[in-house]
Each structure stands twice: as C-alpha cells, then as structure tokens.
C-alpha cells in the first residue's frame, strides 16, 4: 500500500510542480553561476553522451537506480500559461476495469480507478474509507484535490486530507503536507511544521524529504542553522538518488567553502545528475568536460551534453553549442547550425557579439534556414537569462 500511495504522491508532485526550498532556488535565481538556468523537461530524443571518467566508479546496481522514475507525463501548458487539463467524461454508463482478485492480496480499487483515469470513481470509492480513517484513502483524496482530477482543484482541502493522513502515520502524505506547509499552498506557511513532516518522511528514507531538511538547516528556517548538518543530509539524499541533491552537492564541491571544494567529486555528482536529466547539471558537466576540470577533457562529449541541454530549451547550452559549431570544437564546423543555435539563444536573451559575426558570413538562404530553426525555440523559456557567461568554452 505504501508503494501505491508513493506513486500517487509522486503523480501529485509532478503535476503541481511545487517549489523546493533554498537549494532549488539556487538553481534558478540570479545567484546561480551563469552557466546554469532553470531545469526544463528532458527531451524525448537527445544525443546521449558517453559515461565520463568521473563516473567510472558507479557500479551497475547504482547506475540502474539512477534511472528516472516512470511517472505519468507532465500536463502540457496552454498558450496562456495555465495548465491545460483535459476534460474527462464521467464514468456513468461504463464501469472501469478492475484488477482480478489474487488470493492473499488486498486490492485498492480506489487507486486502481485513479490509475485508469476514472477519477470520479476513485473519489466515490475513497471518500467513505477516508472518512472512516483510512490514511491511504485520505492521501488519495489529497492527490485528487491537489491535482483537480474529478473535483475542482482545492489546495485547502488537499492540505486538510494530507494532514489527517500524516497524523495517522502515512509517509507520502507527510511529505506532501510538508511541501504545502513549506510553500504556503493551501495552508499558512510554516517552515518549522514543514520540517516536522520532512523528519517523518526522512526517517522512512524518502530522499526528497532529506533534501528539503538539508535546505532548512542550510537557511536556518524551521530548523537550526547548521551547514555541516545540511551537507551531511545533502550527501545522504544524493546517495539515495535525489537528482536535485546531486546537482546541489556538485555545486557545493565546485563553489562552496575552500575546505569542501573538490573538482573530482563535483564532476562525479554533476555527471550523475546530468544522466538523470537535470538540464542545469548537463550544462555545467559539459563545461567541466570541455575544460577538463575534475574529469578528463573531452570536447566531443561536452558537445553532446550541450546539445542535449540545448534541445531541452536551455539558452546557455544553445550559445555554447553555437560556439562549438562555429569554431569546430567538438563538432565539425557548421555555420548554419552555429547561426541557428545562436539565433535561438539570442531570442531567449543570450547575446554574443562574436557569433553575430557568423550571421554576416553566411548567405541569405542559409540564414533563412537558421532563422526557421531558431523560431522553434523562441518561446521555450519565459524566465530571465543569466546576466553573464563565465567559463566560456
């Protein structure tokens, strides 16, 4: 049952995109090193980069554990920025298919209906159980109200159900309620109470809860200010596979206090996060690869990582990839591709006077092809671009 509700909570996390605390903020705001931007969804098809020297110590079992959890796809955004959630027909005339009974196994029909998209049926099956104190059903109701499936989206009701389930000992509910408390969604913001919820989930080995506890100890909000404890928790969350923890741990080893700086460890964890699809990590790992910092230099592999992040919509990666195509570093010289990626990056706020010169060196037909290519990326991101480009390959 715990695994079932963990999946439900993960669905809610993906679809509501709740923000994480201090650590995640450093990956998106102006305090981040200029070669990173906010992470965007990993592209369905992108060039895979070979495993780097810094990752050679990863054994097959750990590498398998690094694979991204197979969650339902994120609901696409409509043009106006609102979530475009498809309207589902209510299950009136046709009953949903139910799992076959297996001797000795208890079936959760409410969650089975939820999995199949029969949200009203899930609601009707879960409600009486939730009112009777079933924490699994309470958590499922929290998911339904948080995501707006089968019922109008209502953060307050979601928080209320999560709170009840968390008090009853439900681990996924404790994590979800902690995130809502942390961000002030559906309930008044309370970092201390959020920390209490994260403690519950952290004791059960939930990496996301451990990551968030690290953030609270780092900022001293809701938990005592303790950088050493924050680093210890961050390391633990990274070892458990949390991609954001791995990225932030790599950042610490690159840019943190002198006594913990270690480019080899930074490249190791940055490579792990990059392979999991963290776009900011892909950009920084590409730079480490290109410059040979903490890992053997490999311009071709660096180009692979830049291309993956550029294809995902990262403007810094677009600019770096354009430079590689323009100057033949890790990629054969290709002025059309250089111009296309440069125009895409420029449309997203990354200027580069040197690459502007490429535009004057190509004929009109090539420029038109480059402009047509760039148009596909002109509205990928709506976040501000970094102010500068440091460590330019």
Residue with tokens 């099956």: 125
Tell me, what DSSP letter sits at residue 149?
A: S
Q: What is the pLDDT of residue 393?
A: 55
- Quick check: 146 and 156 in contact, CB under 8 A? no
Tokens of residue 269, six digits: 């964890």
- CA nearest neighbour of 174 among 156, 189, 157, 194: 194
Residue with tokens 């990752």: 55
Tokens of residue 226, six digits: 């303790």
Q: pLDDT tens-digit profile of 127-178?
A: 999 999 999 999 999 999 999 999 999 999 999 999 999 999 999 999 999 9
SS (H, E, C) 227-282: HHHHHHHHHHHHHCCCHHHHHHHHHHHHHCCHHHCCHHHHHHHHHHHHHCCCHHHH
Q: What is the pLDDT of residue 108?
A: 85
Rg (CA), the chain: 23
Collapsed DSSP state (helix, strand, coil) of residue 380: coil
| Per-residue model confidence as pLDDT tens for the chain (393 residues) | 444 444 444 444 433 333 344 443 333 332 323 333 333 223 233 333 333 444 433 333 333 333 332 323 323 333 333 333 333 333 333 344 444 444 444 578 999 999 999 999 999 999 999 999 999 999 999 999 999 999 999 999 999 999 999 999 999 999 999 999 999 999 999 999 999 999 999 999 999 999 999 999 999 999 999 999 999 999 999 999 999 999 999 999 999 889 999 999 999 999 999 999 999 999 999 999 999 999 999 999 999 999 999 999 999 999 999 999 999 999 999 999 999 999 999 999 999 999 999 999 999 999 999 999 999 887 544 444 443 344 445
Q: pLDDT tens-digit profile of 120-134?
A: 999 999 999 999 999
Q: What is the pLDDT of residue 377?
A: 84
Cβ burial, residue 48 (10 Å; 0-12/13-18/19+): exposed
The tally of CA atoms less than 13 A away on the side-chain side of residue 237 is: 30
Through-space distance between the first and last CA atoms of the chain, rounded to whole angstroms: 50
Query: CA 212 to CA 177: how far, in whole Å?
Result: 13
User: 113 vs 7, 118, 157, 280, 378, CA distance in Å?
Assistant: 14, 5, 21, 37, 40
Query: CA 251 to CA 294: how far, in whole Å?
Result: 13
Query: CA 103 to CA 87: how far, in whole Å?
Result: 37
User: 237 vs 138, 147, 213, 375, CA distance in Å?
Assistant: 27, 26, 10, 39
Cβ burial, residue 360 (10 Å; 0-12/13-18/19+): exposed
Q: What is the pLDDT of residue 154?
A: 96
Tell me, what DSSP letter sits at residue 197?
A: H
Handedness of CA 86, 153, 24, 205 (dihedral sign): negative
Q: pLDDT tens-digit profile of 200-246?
A: 999 999 999 999 999 999 999 999 999 999 999 999 999 999 999 99
């Amino acid at each position: 049952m715990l695994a079932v509700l963990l999946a439900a909570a993960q669905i809610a996390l993906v679809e509501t995109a709740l923000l994480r605390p201090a650590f995640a903020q450093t990956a998106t705001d102006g305090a981040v090193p200029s070669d990173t931007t906010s992470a965007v969804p990993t592209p369905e098809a992108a060039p895979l980069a070979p495993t780097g020297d810094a990752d050679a110590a990863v054994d097959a079992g750990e590498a398998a554990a690094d694979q991204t959890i197979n969650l339902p796809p994120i609901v696409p955004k409509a043009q106006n920025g609102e979530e475009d959630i498809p309207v589902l027909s209510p299950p009136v005339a046709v009953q949903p298919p139910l799992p076959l009974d297996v001797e000795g196994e208890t079936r959760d029909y409410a969650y089975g209906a939820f999995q199949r998209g029969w949200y009203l049926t899930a609601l009707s099956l879960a409600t009486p159980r939730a009112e009777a104190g079933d924490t699994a059903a309470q958590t499922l109701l929290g998911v339904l109200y948080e995501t707006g499936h089968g019922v109008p989206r209502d953060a307050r009701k979601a928080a209320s159900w999560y709170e009840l389930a968390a008090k009853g000992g439900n681990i996924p509910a404790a994590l979800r309620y902690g995130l809502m408390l942390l961000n002030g969604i559906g309930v008044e913001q309370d970092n201390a109470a959020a920390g209490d919820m994260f403690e519950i989930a952290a004791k059960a080995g939930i990496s996301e809860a451990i990551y968030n506890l690290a953030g609270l100890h780092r900022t001293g909000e809701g938990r005592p200010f303790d950088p050493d404890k924050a680093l210890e928790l961050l390391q633990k969350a990274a070892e458990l596979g949390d991609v954001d923890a791995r990225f932030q741990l790599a950042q610490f080893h690159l840019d943190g206090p002198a006594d913990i700086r270690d480019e080899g460890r930074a490249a190791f964890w940055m490579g792990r996060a990059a392979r999991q699809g963290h776009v900011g990590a892909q950009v920084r790992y590409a730079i480490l690869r290109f410059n040979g910092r903490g890992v053997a230099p490999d311009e071709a592999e660096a180009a692979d990582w830049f291309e993956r992040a550029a294809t995902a919509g990262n403007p810094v990666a677009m600019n770096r990839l354009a430079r590689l195509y323009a100057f033949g570093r890790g990629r054969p010289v290709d002025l059309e591709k250089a111009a296309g990626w440069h125009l895409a990056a420029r449309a997203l706020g990354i200027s580069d006077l040197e690459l502007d010169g490429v535009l004057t060196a190509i004929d009109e037909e090539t420029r038109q092809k480059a402009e047509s290519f760039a148009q596909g990326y002109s509205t990928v991101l709506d976040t501000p671009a970094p102010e500068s480009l440091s460590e330019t390959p």
